[in-house]
Structure 1
Amino acid sequence: MQSVRALGNRPRTRAPAFLFALLDACSVLAGAAVAYVFRFNDLSAWSEPTLLLVAFNTAMAVLLFPTLGIYQSWRGRNALEMVTLVTLGWGAVFVLGLALVFTTHQTHALSRLWSGTWFVTSLALLVVSRITGYQLSKQLWRHGIDVQPVAIVGANPLSLTLIERLRKNAQSGFYPECVFDEDPTASTYAGGLPVLASVDALADIVRTRGIKEIWLVLPLREEARVHTVLNAFRHDFVNVRFIPNVRDIALFNHSVSEIAGLSSINLLASPSADPRFVAKQIFDRSFAALALLGISPLMLVVAVLVKLSSPGPVFFRQWRKGANGTEFQIYKFRTMVVHAESAGQLTQAKRRDPRVTPIGALLRKTSLDELPQFINVLRGEMSVVGPRPHALQHDELYKDLVHGYMFRYRIKPGITGWAQINGYRGETDKIEKMQGRIAFDLYYIENWTFGLDLKIVLKTFIHGFGGAHAY
């Protein structure tokens, strides 16, 4: 058995997302210019509506593409999926642009031939740049750059096959880091990798080395070990994948992907960006933009009232967890007098709480204090519909008390949600209230459809944002 200290560090690099956004923006602009030359044989006579459409589509591409997962790592995913997402994303941007043109009654000022040529040209540039980047990434992975370490659970002939395949196919973007198995003979199938003999040792290596992939290469009969690993990493935002021999068995209801030529069943992983979520992403950004435009006068009035209510800032900002545990600052209108609490402590607002200002009480009762969160939605940190994000202190408190609590952070949190329209809003002074809220959140995640989102939004408007426990 090799020492854990033998684990090596591979060189890693991550291209900033803004570089991809800049490249895509250039592709959109270049496509517009090429199409304009093709249609008018001149680049000096751009009309104002045309420039407005080009600017709008460029900005929307930069805003929308990240929400579709286009800028995420493509390791373990195929080129067809990548091209499909880019095509859907650019198509959605173009439809939004045309909607803007119709809304502003500028259709007469645009050339249909130029518009069609621009769509095709920019799409070709976007696809070519993405495929080129994908091929360059594979070359980097082949040389050990930006590769993702993998912890393998289970030492058996199949895991040895997996280790050998990962080593031979470095362009997959993964490399085997270590093997966990309590069997004394595990080194026989470890392929020379360090062998860890306890779950605690595995957890220590995963957390200290930032390993984000744990692959369970186990027989289906080892259900107990599967649950042990899932329980050990229930608070960690790592991808736990099950890689059984699936040739002679029926697959159960989990998403399946192919890695290094082997099938993997995702047991504990974030919902991947796929076409099913395109409608939700487009709806979030569009709804947030329109909402902010429509409620801007109301927000201005509320901001003035908050400022006059007591000394302090207009906005209250607090760190919350977003999708996959990524922390962000949530925006609310300040409803309390400025005060300080002990480090690590957070006191929930209670009925007739003296810290709440008179204006703040009204805002909390009507949920008007939540309106600035449309800014979070526009920035891609939140969704219109999803589990409500809790304060970090509450996450630490409830993650061990409520089963499945941290699963709710596998997707973006929302301004409203399934739990809220079913009465779970406001103070959670009893553990049963939090358990009920989490049960509704998990139901939403397991049964999500775009139609369910629309139903929640509609019910929120019909029944209002208030509640008996909103204080």
Structure 2
Amino acid sequence: MAKARVAAPFVQGLVYAGVAAGLLYAITMAYSGQFTTPYRIVSALAAAFSFLVLGRIDLLARWRMGRPGSVGTRLLYHWTAIFALLLFLGYVTQTTAYFSRVILTAWFVMTPAVLAVINVLARAFTARFVPDAVGQRRAVIVFASDSAQVLARSLRESELYHLEGFFDDRSDQRLGRSARIGRRLGHLRDLVPYVRDHAVDVVFIMLPEQGIGRVTELIDALGDTTASVYCVPDYSLLDLIGAEFSEIEGVPVLRVAETPLFGVDGVYKYVFDITVSTLGLMLLAPVMLLIAIAIRLDSPGPVIFRQARYGLNGRRFDVYKFRTMRINDPDGCIVQVSRHDPRVTRIGRFLRRTSLDELPQLVNVLKGDMSLVGPRPHAVQHNEYYRKAVKRYMLRHKVKPGITGWAQINGLRGNTDELAHMEERVRYDLEYIRRWSPLFDIEIILKTLLLVIRDRNAY
């Protein structure tokens, strides 16, 4: 089972990569008769991005393009993001003149159309020869609860399941709002007959806090049917410990703390960081030189400020920033900058407000100490304090620290003078680690560029 789940995104990724690259080749040859080196480079990049990003999209699901939240809409969104990224790379490398607008426009429009046709054909082929692999699965829920409401909402939005209702022995008055999960289909004694008579495919049993023996009896009884059976734990417990379901070599586990950046995903993020930081340093070199001159003219002292921070897995490194203060804090006594802080220089105030003081951290990214996106690194002394004061604080270091992060674009940029502010920042950092994807990084970078223009939390 574990190998099948790994193989599916790999095979799908190959399909998406092949369509993106092959279609560009076909359109280019049909229009101009020459597949030149620039088009070959774009074809290779498109194949790589499609493999990594689109490979997670189920090729056999009913796509329904244009419907909010559907698989097809997600495909359109992801393909548009890939195409926009390729255009951006062409712009920053000043190579857009080598490409035909007609070819690129036709490629952008035709790729999702061809993929939609492939989806229809794949579903039709599978329905003809492997009918059990496609179509919505009929599902019921046993035991109404708050967690059942969460599950029911997800099932209704899913392309894979049709929720028929629930079974419970309690009256609607006792269930209260938990009865809102759907149509009551009967009591527990009615479950097995209903499953048999209505060809139910999946039974979701909500695990109660007490009475696990009763659940065992139900599982034994359902052993006389062909329905798939899932036991769903109390979501409030999972939220409490921040756990997610996963499996290790086929063994089901609850994942409490893990990094998403290993294997192919880790390689992607590394390549993305190195590529963008290299381009950034090349393009911004004149700006950084002017900033360095302005700092030297504004106040005595070094241009670059270095400070020890914790990085991946808690390893120390020196972070680089343009110096924005007249007096550096002595070791062991780091005081966070406040609004109208007299230590901040004139040029330093401008650099901090516009985040230009962070530009030298592109060198940190090239060195491998940081990433473009990730939890912001804190001073070592602050780390030692907050790791004791904030629960799960050190889990931020399961990934490399970033120049920008999910917490920062959600208003948690700047001073953390109250413990509640740091707790909120950590919550966003851990959410970023759980939600990480290539497109999530790109989204955060684009929102960061918009934020620095109007942010009032930086000083």
**TM-score between both structures, scaled by the size of structure 1:** 0.45
- Indicate the structure (1 or 2) with the bigger Cα radius of gyration: 2
Is the helix fraction higher in 1 or 2?
2
